[in-house]
């Protein structure tokens, strides 16, 4: 199902900071993020069943991501998801943009969107400073997104409690003050400090650190970042987790950073994208036709394994963070989770064009 939270062009050191949890059946064959042998400039995970991807970027500054729009597929049994290949692959929508040359808005405008099951699709050309969004559910048309903070899960852009809660946590981690309201055009602003917070607020349902590696309109400009979700206590990654997550600053490809900015990688993985808190009883829960119990178990940012079908476990399989600095550095870090053996794998890719 997936959840993505990101800031775009509102941070003094970062052009883009994007986080992404991929939720999927654990028995679906998948490759972690890697540079594709057949498209060597593309860095993305790959669905081995249909060869598409949910999130990818290229060394030329193109980026795309896709989330499903949650809705029952089988009218005969609306309480269950059906794994099917009847419709065209949504993963090809991201792949075709990454390997193509069209501008973001032009690409989205040319898609036969109604041929597919429900989706949200974001595509960007970061060299041209263009980021565009479309969904084939709801009234939205392809649109360019202005600088702001954004989130998308399995409703439309900026919808769902987990998105609003996650954006609040993300902004706190990065030291961006969510001082704006839904009726304001004011941007979030940086707190007076030399670098982003290295520790974030942890709620009672946040995933522990490991040493191993009502809705906002989708036409809003991403400025309604003052999401509910109060602090319950501070948690800082320990030294072992910090080392495993690569919290130390690094030199990339022989080029040094002009910004001097460091990111709290461990906190972003664990306190922001590792939040397992579900929508509580009495709170507004998006009901999508799959059954209230299933909707509730899917309402956390990090979805713990559950049986969506007999013998078919489903949950968060990977967590990815992409950072694009204004000085040209690009880093992608990923935690890839396989429940069959209980192991986590960590991956990291980084590059910079010098001169």
pLDDT of residue 98: 98
pLDDT score recorded for residue 210: 37
Q: In the prediction, which pLDDT does 152 show? A: 97
**Residue 13's pLDDT is what?**
96
| pLDDT value at residue 71 | 81
Q: Which residues pair with 44 in a beta bridge?
A: 34, 56
Strand runs labelled E in the chain = 3-8, 14-25, 30-36, 39-47, 55-58, 62-68, 119-125, 130-135, 143-144, 148-152, 176-177, 189-190, 200-201, 234-235, 306-309, 312-325, 329-338, 343-352
pLDDT at 146: 97
pTM above 0.85, yes or no: no
- Say what the pLDDT of residue 283 is: 85
3-352 is classed in which CATH architecture? Answer: 4-Layer Sandwich (3.60)
Return the pLDDT at 341: 55
Q: What is the mean pLDDT of each run of 10 residues along the chain (355 residues)?
A: 94 97 93 96 92 95 96 54 68 96 98 92 98 90 96 94 96 78 36 38 42 32 39 31 38 38 91 95 85 92 91 93 96 84 77 61
Question: What is the structure's pLDDT at 352?
Answer: 81
Residue spans per domain, the chain: 3-352
């Amino acid at each position: 199902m997936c959840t993505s939270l990101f800031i775009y062009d509102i941070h003094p050191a970062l052009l883009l900071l994007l986080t992404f949890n991929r939720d999927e059946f654990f028995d679906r064959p998948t490759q972690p993020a890697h540079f594709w042998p057949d498209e060597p400039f593309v860095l993305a995970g790959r669905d081995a069943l249909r060869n598409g991807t949910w999130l990818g970027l290229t060394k030329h500054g193109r980026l795309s991501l896709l989330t499903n729009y949650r809705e029952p597929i089988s009218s005969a049994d609306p309480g269950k998801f059906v794994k099917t290949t009847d419709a065209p692959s949504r993963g090809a929508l991201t792949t075709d943009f990454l390997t193509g040359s069209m501008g973001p808005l032009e690409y989205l405008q040319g898609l036969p969107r109604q041929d597919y099951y429900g989706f949200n699709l974001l595509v960007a050309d970061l060299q041209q400073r263009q980021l565009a969004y479309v969904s084939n559910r709801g009234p939205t048309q392809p649109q360019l997104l202005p600088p702001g903070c954004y989130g998308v899960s399995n409703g439309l852009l900026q919808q769902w409690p987990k998105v609003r809660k996650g954006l609040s946590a993300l902004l706190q981690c990065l030291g961006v003050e969510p001082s704006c309201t839904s009726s304001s055009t004011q941007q979030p602003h940086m707190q007076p400090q030399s670098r982003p917070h290295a520790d974030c607020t942890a709620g009672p349902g946040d995933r522990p650190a490991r040493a191993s590696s009502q809705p906002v309109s989708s036409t809003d400009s991403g400025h309604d970042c003052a999401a509910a979700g109060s602090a319950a206590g501070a948690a800082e990654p320990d030294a072992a987790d910090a080392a495993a997550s690569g919290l130390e600053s690094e030199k990339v490809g022989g080029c040094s950073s002009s910004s001097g900015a460091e990111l709290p990688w461990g906190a972003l993985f664990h306190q922001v994208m590792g939040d397992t808190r579900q929508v509580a009883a009495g709170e507004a829960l998006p009901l999508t036709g799959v059954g209230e119990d299933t909707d509730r178990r899917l309402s956390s940012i990090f979805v713990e394994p559950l049986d969506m079908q007999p013998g078919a476990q489903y949950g968060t399989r990977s967590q990815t963070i992409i950072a694009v600095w204004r000085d040209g550095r690009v880093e992608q870090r990923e935690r890839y989770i396989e429940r069959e053996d209980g192991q986590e794998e960590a991956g990291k890719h980084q590059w910079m064009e010098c001169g």
